[in-house]
Amino acid sequence: MIPYGRQSIDDSDIEAVVRVLRSDWLTTGPAVEQFERKVADYTGARHAVAFNSATSALHGACHATGLGPGDVVHTSPLTFIASANCARYVGARPALIDIDERTWNIDVSLVDENVSALVSVDYAGLPVDLAALAHRPRVVIQDASHALGAQTPDGPVGNCAHSDVTVFSFHPVKPVTTAEGGIATTNDDALADRMRRFRSHGIDRTARANAWEYDAIEVGYNYRLTDVQAALGASQLDRLDLFVSRRNEIAARYRDLLAALPVALPPAAPAGWVHGYHLFAIHVPHRDEVFARLRAAGIGVQVHYVPVHHHGVSVDIDVPSAGYPVVERVYSGLISLPIYPDLTEADQDTVVAALSRILTDLA
Ligand SMILES: *Cc1c(COP(=O)(O)O)cnc(C)c1O
């Protein structure tokens, strides 16, 4: 099976992990601090706070920015359910806005002034144009799980030029991996402190009279990343730019190879932007049949995503009677083709040949 995404692990990654296993620290210690510094330096943010997943980082971001009951949090319908659940975790209510045909990201012109927060999602690795927001809500959190290594004219995604917090995921299919893991970047010292406290039981670390004293001043969680994972992440980060350029090469080659087929290609990055190409999702006719036949041919395609409001958990979302027409149209034909740094040209040719044969059969 050629998967739709997978990690790229080399000997330097393995050696970095083994070094930590031979050291005194396994859980949150010096390797986590080094990894956080490295991500902060890469993105240009003041702080990076590591978590054991992007989901927990999103929870931490919603908590630290003060979201709670009574708050309405906009996000995209075309995302993983965690982008909406983070509002629910803190007692806030998720609300959706349709996507823009030209980007497959939320339509930034539809963000209204009555919502407390926006959790923007850089779908497939194409950054949301936050500089073009019609209204800036009180809180802006970027779910950039797809977009580490991507750039806008304002610089690297994660520098928080137009947001309070940016969150990245390190799941194996994401731009770099720690097996499971996530991180939140911010330029705000107080937000960084609050997220650090939240990820470790709400314990305030201010020095006290006795070395053993500590004070849990609020409810927190154990959302810590381990040193073992952080060592893998730091080692992976050295190859991030290589990974992103390889993904861009694969995407450009798909665009050439698919040009003659009756499919719609994904939105491209504007001039001056860098696309992360976490996904290469296209729009095909007869999607359900194409999906089944590609899987049967050994190609591990996937659909990203079943829209947020289609899930049973989303009974709390007020869907307008007209629905979200753009996302419904895009979703009806959506399919993610394999893309990852180690995908070979031969594998890519296999994918395109299979798709071409199937589309001819179904025409
Ligand atoms: C992967 C992903 C998440 C969740 O990341 P985890 O690290 O698996 O918790 C959240 N949002 C989006 C858009 C994702 O793609």
Tokens describing residue 131:
């500089």
Pocket perturbation via mutation, ligand 1, pick of 169, 305, 311 by most ligand atoms within 8 A of CB: 169
CB 307 within 8 A of CB 328: yes
Nearest to 105 by CA among 72, 132, 135, 136: 132
Written as one letter, the residue type at 263 is V
Nearest to 186 by CA among 60, 95, 76: 60
Pocket perturbation via mutation, ligand 1, pick of 80, 122, 306 by most ligand atoms within 8 A of CB: 80
CA 259-290-79 angle, to 5 degrees, is: 85
Å from CA of 38 to ligand 1 middle:
21
Mean per-residue pLDDT for 312-327?
Answer: 95
Instruction: Kindly tell me if the per-residue pLDDT of 205 is higher than 90.
Output: no
Half-sphere exposure of 230 (CA within 13 A, CB side): 26
C-alpha–C-alpha distance, residues 119 and 140, integer Å: 6
For residue range 131-140, what is the model confidence (pLDDT) as tens digits?
999 889 999 9
Mean per-residue pLDDT for 19-31?
Answer: 96
Q: What confidence tier does 322 reach under pLDDT thresholds 50, 70, 90?
A: confident
3-state SS of 94-133 is: EEECCECCCCCCECHHHCCCCCCEEEEECHHHCCCCHHHC
Instruction: Kindly tell me if the per-residue pLDDT of 113 is higher than 90.
Output: no
C-alpha–C-alpha distance, residues 295 and 298, integer Å: 5
C-alpha–C-alpha distance, residues 269 and 4, integer Å: 21
* Ligand 1 atom at minimal distance to the Cα of residue 170: 7
CB count within 10 Å of CB 69 equals 8
C-alpha–C-alpha distance, residues 14 and 27, integer Å: 17
User: Angle, to 10 degrees, between the axis of helix 54-64 and the axis of helix 82-89?
Assistant: 40
pTM for this prediction:
0.98
Q: Give the closest residue (by CA) to ligand 1 atom 2.
A: 145
Q: What confidence tier does 15 reach under pLDDT thresholds 50, 70, 90?
A: very high
Instruction: Kindly tell me if the per-residue pLDDT of 21 is higher than 90.
Output: yes
Pocket perturbation via mutation, ligand 1, pick of 76, 167, 171 by most ligand atoms within 8 A of CB: 171
Pocket of ligand 1 from Cβ distances under 6 Å: 53-55, 79-80, 82-83, 121, 143, 145-146, 169, 171, 182
Tokens describing residue 31:
């390797």
The secondary structure of 8-23 as a DSSP string is: ---HHHHHHHHHHHTS
Instruction: Kindly tell me if the per-residue pLDDT of 160 is higher than 90.
Output: yes
* Ligand 1 atom at minimal distance to the Cα of residue 146: 15
